Amino acid sequence: MQKLTRQDLLSLEDYTEHRSDFRTKIMAHKKARRVQVGPNAALYFEDRKTMLYQIQEMLRVERIFEPDAIEEELSTYNPLIPDGGNWKATFMIEFEDEGERKVALESMKGIESRVWVKVADHEHVWAIADEDMERENNEKTSSVHFLRFELSPEMVTLAKAGEPIAVGIEHEAYCHQSDPVPETIRHSLVQDLA
User: What pLDDT digit, counting tens, does each position of 22-75 carry?
Assistant: 999 999 999 999 999 999 999 999 999 999 999 999 999 999 999 999 999 999
- 65 and 40 inside one domain: no
According to DSSP, residue 113 is labeled G
Average pLDDT over residues 151-168: 98
Q: Are strands 174-177 and 125-126 parallel, antiparallel or unpaired?
A: unpaired
Query: Using alpha carbons only, what angle is made at residue 192 by residues 75 and 10, rounded to the nearest 5 degrees?
Result: 45
Q: What was the pLDDT predicted at 160?
A: 97
Average pLDDT across the chain, whole number: 95
- 7 and 93 inside one domain: no
Contact (Cβ atoms closer than 8 angstroms) between residue 82 and residue 1: yes
- 57 and 102 inside one domain: no
Q: What was the pLDDT predicted at 174?
A: 98
User: What is the C-alpha to C-alpha distance for residues 12 and 76, in angstroms, rounded to an integer?
Assistant: 19
Domain that holds residue 129: 32-46+82-194
153-160 helix and 183-190 helix, angle to the nearest 10 degrees: 130
132: domain CATH number is: 2.60.40
Local structure of 60: helix, strand or coil: helix
- 94 and 17 inside one domain: no
Average pLDDT over residues 107-116: 96
Contact (Cβ atoms closer than 8 angstroms) between residue 32 and residue 185: yes
Distance linking the first and last C-alpha atoms of the chain: 8
User: What is the C-alpha to C-alpha distance for residues 146 and 1, in angstroms, rounded to an integer?
Assistant: 18
Contact (Cβ atoms closer than 8 angstroms) between residue 22 and residue 9: no
- 61 and 91 inside one domain: no
- 90 and 166 inside one domain: yes
Note the pTM of the prediction, 2 decimals. 0.92
- 6 and 91 inside one domain: no
- 74 and 145 inside one domain: no
- 73 and 99 inside one domain: no
- 77 and 144 inside one domain: no
**CA 132 vs CA 8, 48, 79, 135: distances in Å:** 23, 18, 9, 9
Number of domains composing the chain:
2
- 27 and 38 inside one domain: no
